[in-house]
Amino acid sequence: MSLQRLFHQKLSPFSRKVRLALAEKRVEVALVEEKFWERRIDFLRLNPAGQVPVLEIDGLVLCDSTAICEYLDETRPDPALLPQGASARAEARRLAAYFDDKFHGEVTVNLLHERVTKRLMKSGYPDSGNIKMGLSAIRYHLDYIDWLADHRRWLAGDTMTIADLSAAAQISCLDYVGDVDWKRVPNAKDWYARIKSRPSFRSLLADSLPGFQVPQHYSDLDF
């Protein structure tokens, strides 16, 4: 069997999205931590974009979390991460992109990057203005998740999709640093408790980063 490994970072939401997709589909891969900010030349050969995750599978090198998830869904259809029907698929993809782009840009970058990644990369101190923006943005994004979870069983509809994985991947990183105020959003909390209890989530909940204290509720399934 050819090499199956994922170059990742523990608190990279895009790495986590792919780890969830792999685990849902019961594909086992070796995890390789890649300090992508060091721009290792052999890593840049694998991914000119210089980002994690990069998946080696089926003798291929795959980059970009969305492209990887679409590939996994095409080659390992069970369980499906995209629903049946073009319009339902468009809704799942819209929401996945919403969390990958908008939530990431307005919340994750402002909170996680300032608080964790900068320290890992030794690239300076947290910017309090950015943190303030992130704390303000996460409120309305959690309200949106709360609204979706109140109207649908899963975020994009009746079944769990790539939208749930994208959202849970971002949220789980922020929960690790204690930035999610679960009290305000009971429907979002119920949705997160459901996805967090899946076997695919276990490996994420076992992650720990030296020098960063994990909040007690992070890995607690009855938080």
Shortest CB 203 distance to a copy of itself, Å: 23
Alpha carbon 141 to chain centroid, angstroms: 15
Residue 132 or 140: the one with the smaller Cβ distance to a copy of itself is: 140
Could you say whether residue 221 binds a copy of itself (CB under 8 A)?
no
Numbers of helices and strands, H then E, in the chain? 9, 4
Site string for a copy of itself, 30-69 (x = CB under 8 A): ------------------xx-x------x-x-xxx-xxx-
Q: Which residues pair with 60 in a beta bridge?
A: 57
Residue 66 or 203: the one with the smaller Cβ distance to a copy of itself is: 66
Residue 38 or 58: the one with the smaller Cβ distance to a copy of itself is: 58
Residue with tokens 């959003």: 185
Tell me the C-alpha distance between 135 and 219, whole Å. Answer: 22
Asked if 130 and 44 count as a contact pair (C-beta separation under 8 A), the reply is no
Residue 19 or 93: the one with the smaller Cβ distance to a copy of itself is: 93
Shortest CB 70 distance to a copy of itself, Å: 6
Residue 28 or 74: the one with the smaller Cβ distance to a copy of itself is: 74
Tell me the C-alpha distance between 53 and 13, whole Å. Answer: 9
The footprint of a copy of itself on residues 73-102 (CB under 8 A) is 74-75, 86-87, 89-90, 93-94, 97-98, 101-102
Residue 37 or 223: the one with the smaller Cβ distance to a copy of itself is: 37
- What token pair was written down for 69? 């998830």
Shortest CB 208 distance to a copy of itself, Å: 29
Using CA atoms, how far residue 92 sits from 8, 15, 46, 66, in Å, is 24, 19, 29, 12
Residue with tokens 């979706």: 148
Asked if 15 and 6 count as a contact pair (C-beta separation under 8 A), the reply is yes
Residue with tokens 């076997």: 199
- Interface with a copy of itself (CB under 8 A): 48-49, 51, 58, 60, 62-64, 66-68, 70-71, 74-75, 86-87, 89-90, 93-94, 97-98, 101-102, 144
